[in-house]
Amino acid sequence: MDPQAKDPPPGPENATEASRIYLLPNSLTAGNLFFGFLAILRCIQANNTPDANLVPHYYTQAVWFILLAIICDALDGRVARIGNRESLFGKEFDSIADMVSFGVAPALMTLFLILAPTEKFPFFLQTGWLIAFVYLLCAGIRLARFNVLTHPMLEPPKALLESKDFIGLPVPAAAGMIASLVLVLNTFDLRTWALLLPPLLLATSILMVSTISYPSFKTINWQTQTPFNTFIFIVVAIGVAFTFREFFFAILFIGYITYGPAIHLYRKRLKKK
């Protein structure tokens, strides 16, 4: 045996271990990518179809595909943690899928939606592509920063160790807000209000690359207990979501997005006092 030979380093430093493909979590990540691809396909079909009656139908399908991608994204990491099957491969694969489903798909959706109803507003016609790219750029930066901060070979920042919150708005939440608002616009024939999407896209872009904290809900598992009143509220909320699903998702994502800046400003005020 060569005395200079060394055993492969344990844990994430071992390339073989880090690149393992675990079936269940990575299948959910593949589902995320699949639904993101279908959402992009529907956006392209909506933009190119000669039948105006099919346009809302295609966009509505794209919205539901993005929401299904969000569900897959929420489950893949949780399944990996439950089975102790986390790997660097899974994390990188997840970021690539997120870039497609929550970066490219919402950017294209917004870009195509604001072109048709804004013929009288040349400013948006000329800058729509740039606004969509800014969102895409910030989504990529947000995902890359998350991978660096949580890399097992690097020492995480002290703030990250002390808190389980996300730093900056999660990309799926930004995509969910855009998709849920498009669902409302299509369901109630309010496409002229699509002019609100570009500024909202820029606002979410800024929040994604900010240092504002957002709750991650990663600590919730099968052992999590809840008070009776909270349990009743959750059950009622699920019923409301099923009944008013078009509005519920928009309210849910907007509430989550505004929660971060509101708590951030509240904490800053407390520090000043």
- Tell me the pLDDT tens digit for each residue of 93-106: 999 999 999 999 99
Closest CA to 40 of 117, 89, 97: 97
Q: Which residues pair with 98 in a beta bridge?
A: none
pLDDT above 70 covers what percent of the chain? 81
Degrees, nearest 5: CA angle 151-154-167: 60
Mean pLDDT of the chain: 82
- Could you write out the DSSP letters of every residue in 193-238? GGGGHHHHHHHHHHHHTS--EE---TT--TT----HHHHHHHHHHH
Question: Residue 72: its pLDDT value, please?
Answer: 95
Q: Inform me whether the pLDDT recorded for 158 exceeds 70.
A: no
Q: Between these two residues, 162 and 239, which has the higher pLDDT value? A: 239
In the DSSP assignment, the letter for residue 165 is S
Task: Give the whole-angstrom CA distance, residue 120 versus residue 103.
Answer: 28
Residue 123 — very low, low, confident or very high, per pLDDT cuts 50/70/90?
Answer: low
pTM here is 0.83
- The pLDDT tens digits for 72-86 are 999 988 887 777 777
Distances 70 to 119, 182, 249, 272 between C-alpha atoms, Å: 33, 16, 12, 38
Question: Residue 125: its pLDDT value, please?
Answer: 67
Mean pLDDT of the region 21-45: 92
- The pLDDT tens digits for 159-182 are 655 567 888 999 999 999 999 999
Q: What is the dihedral of CA 104, 107, 109, 115, to 10 degrees?
A: -140
Whether 69 and 102 have beta carbons less than 8 Å apart is answered as yes
Task: Give the whole-angstrom CA distance, residue 65 versus residue 37.
Answer: 9
Q: Inform me whether the pLDDT recorded for 9 exceeds 50.
A: no
Q: Inform me whether the pLDDT recorded for 219 exceeds 50.
A: yes
Question: Residue 90: its pLDDT value, please?
Answer: 85
Task: Give the whole-angstrom CA distance, residue 190 versus residue 248.
Answer: 17
Structure tokens at 48: 């190119």
